[in-house]
Amino acid sequence: MGSTLFEKIWDQHSICDLGDGNELIYIDRIFLHERTGSIALKSLEERKVPIRNPNQVFATIDHIVDTFPGRGDKTLMPSGSDFIRSLRASVKGTKIHFFDIDDPNQGIVHVVSPEQGIALPGITYICPDSHTCSLGALGTLAWGVGSTECEHALATNTLIKKKPKLMKIMVDGILPLGVTSKDIILHLISQHGADGAKDHAIEFMGSVVENLEIESRLTLCNMAVEFGATTGIIAPDNKTISYLEGKAFSPEEDFNKAKHYWSELKTDQDAIFDKTITIDCSNITPYVTWGTNPQQAIPISHSIPFVDQIKNKNEKESMIRALEYMGLEQGQSINNQKIDAAFIGSCTNSRISDLRSAAKILKDKKIADNIRAICVPGSSQVKKQAEEEGLDRIFKSAGFEWRESGCSMCFFAGGESFGENQRVISTTNRNFENRQGKSTRTHLASPMTVAASAIAGKISDAKSIGIEQ
């Protein structure tokens, strides 16, 4: 019997069996950010436990830092600068690779990581952040951990972990024009629930996945955690290899050796998964969430379900609560729902291809009156690239604010927010209650849908408002 991609990487990193299904797993690379990395480093310092291999550790500032031009350590979030300064103080004098606020390579941890070749195929990789699963897109065995596990990994380069169950998701068919990997993952979560992949690591396979560019694969894997999965992974291929060639932390003289290893790294034909889901993308249309959990998502052309259609009592109550929070009615259409704001950014959709796809729609257009629209590039590199291509001018002349890179308004930490009851169409990953601010109503969608909706002033599919891609 063959092995899956996940098992191959797992087994290659298993130091020993600890009994009861637990194994001691070697961790190759660790990435930290100021929000949760600061506490892990501080805690180890207080215990006087050294970091085992600081040169395998990376850190960036993304979560709390402001995104206004000319920003510094001081943040709109009260006490935000404590997190920034604490992380900076902890990494000072160590061999940790640090991307400080003014570093040209600073940015959102999961955007910087592939961009710099820090996440690589076949390695184990952790970060105290739930969206670490994004990096599975490169064939990296990457998952999010809490602070205590992060401390363990920093101190020992290992984690004690039980192998999760394995799920195969076959993504076949032909992806229609204007439909993105964001729509695929929202479709999956809406069909199978926010805990649909609970206790499983997912491998995304199939012709559609093979055809996706690396950045779109990152979006797909990014939301594996919203599907309840331990992580997501995609086998490395030629696209992965050419994407990584020449990146700052990619192998240099050993690149050919690595390349050879990576190109062999895939699930065997006869490998067995615990569960398989197959989807045909040919009929998927752009999705948007209507509720307060990513599973409460529908195609833009559909209506919000009726409460009576939901059988489970708890799910029904969750739906009633979500409708009330979102200020929506059961059975109403979501298309043309008036919005107050539009946000393009976050580790889900803030890479150069995301910005390009939004800019294509925004070119020579203006956003609707009374809409607040913000674009936050995922990294300083993405921002620079976008400016070189003139995308910033397109965003700005359309009426978007153009920001410095960071996590920004993906979540509200006490700094910037869209405001109470404001309806925001957003390229982010979580539409939880109060996630983007007190009583802020979040609708998750792809960058194209967000751009089209910003122009229309209401939730709109790019195609339906006559914008051809």
Partner 1 sequence: MKSFKTFSGIAAPLIRVNIDTDAIIPSREIKTVSKKGLSGGLFAEWRYLSLESRKENPDFILNQDPFKKASILVTGNNFGCGSSREHAVWALSEWGIRAIIAPSYGSIFYSNCIKNGILPIVMDGRVISSMSEFIKDNPEENRLTVNLIKNEVSYSNEVIETFVIQKQDKEFLINGLDQIEQTLQKNSIISEFETLHKKTNPWLNAS
Residues 324-383 that bind partner 1 (CB under 8 A): none
Minimum distance, C-beta of residue 31 to partner 1, in the bound complex (Å): 11
Choices 82-90, 105-113, 272-280, 361-369; region in contact with partner 1 by CB under 8 A: 82-90
Helix (H) or strand (E) run with residue 241 in it:
helix 238-244
CA–CA distance, 190 with 295 (Å, rounded to integer): 4
Asked if 78 touches partner 1 (CB under 8 A), the answer is yes
- Classify 178 as helix, strand or coil: coil
Residue 42 found at the interface with partner 1 (CB under 8 A) = yes
Binding residue for partner 1 (CB under 8 A) from 62, 115, 129, 461?
129
Candidates 19-27, 102-110, 330-338, 363-371; binding stretch for partner 1 (CB under 8 A)? 19-27
Output DSSP code: residue 270: T
Stretch that binds partner 1, among 100-108, 411-419, 450-458, 460-468 (CB under 8 A): 411-419
Q: How do 14-19 and 22-26 pair as beta strands?
A: antiparallel
Handedness of CA 107, 386, 177, 293 (dihedral sign): positive
Q: Return the amino acid letter for 337.
A: Q
* Identified binder of partner 1 from the candidate list 2, 11, 72, 162, rule CB under 8 A: 162
Position among 10, 83, 290, 400 found at the interface with partner 1 (CB under 8 A)? 83
Give residue 375's Cα distance to chain centre.
16
Cα 275 versus chain centre, distance: 24
In angstroms, what is the minimal distance from the CB of 93 to partner 1? Answer: 16
Contact stretch for partner 1 (CB under 8 A) within 117-125, 215-223, 363-371, 448-456? 117-125
Among 239, 421, 433, 457, the residue binding partner 1 under the rule CB under 8 A is 433
Of 76-84, 181-189, 327-335, 347-355, the segment contacting partner 1 by CB under 8 A is 76-84
Is residue 22 at the binding interface for partner 1, with CB under 8 A as the rule?
yes
Backbone angles phi, psi at 229, to 5 degrees: -75, 155
Phi/psi at 197 (5° precision): -115, 25
18 binds partner 1 (CB under 8 A): yes
- What H or E segment, with its residue span, contains residue 198? none
Which stretch, 103-111, 124-132, 352-360, 396-404, contacts partner 1 (CB under 8 A)? 124-132
Measure the CA–CA gap between 174 and 46, rounded to whole angstroms.
54
Ordered DSSP codes for 30-91: EEEETTTHHHHHHHHHHHTPPPS-GGGEEEE--SSS--STT--S--SSTTHHHHHHHHHHHH
Considering the complex, what minimum distance in angstroms separates the CB of residue 242 from partner 1? Answer: 16
460, 360, 101, 341: CA torsion to nearest 10: -20
Closest CB to partner 1 among 227 and 395? Answer: 227
Select from 11, 79, 338, 397 the one that contacts partner 1 (CB under 8 A). Answer: 79
**Span of 31-39, 99-107, 276-284, 327-335 interacting with partner 1 by CB under 8 A:** 31-39
Which of 3, 71, 100, 155 binds partner 1 (CB under 8 A)? It is 155
Residue 355's CB is within 10 A of a number of other CB atoms, namely: 29
> Would you say 408 or 453 has its CB closer to partner 1?
408
- Which residues inside 300-329 make contact with partner 1, applying CB under 8 A? 314-315, 317-318, 321
With respect to partner 1, which residue has the nearer C-beta, 174 or 320?
320
One residue of 74, 257, 338, 396 binding partner 1 per CB under 8 A: 257
Residue 420 touches partner 1, criterion: CB under 8 A: no
Q: In 399-462, where does DSSP find H-type helix?
A: 447-456
Q: Please give the DSSP secondary-structure letter assigned to residue 141.
A: E
- Of 97 and 458, nearer to partner 1 (C-beta) is 97
Show contacts with partner 1 in window 178-207 (CB under 8 A): 194-195, 198-199
Q: Is 74 in the site for partner 1 (CB under 8 A)?
A: no
Structure-token match 């051809």, residue found: 468
Contacting range for partner 1; rule: CB under 8 A; set: 43-51, 275-283, 343-351, 392-400: 43-51
Q: What is the DSSP letter of 350?
A: -
- Among 37, 35, 33, smallest CA distance to 109 is for 33
Residue 66 binding partner 1, by CB under 8 A: no
Give the span between the Cα atoms of 4 and 1, in whole angstroms: 10
Smaller CB distance to partner 1: residue 269 or 312? Answer: 312
Alpha-carbon distance of 44 to 50, in angstroms, equals 7
Closest approach, Cβ 338 to partner 1, in A, equals: 25
Of the candidates 154, 113, 116, the one whose C-alpha atom is nearest the C-alpha of residue 135 is 113
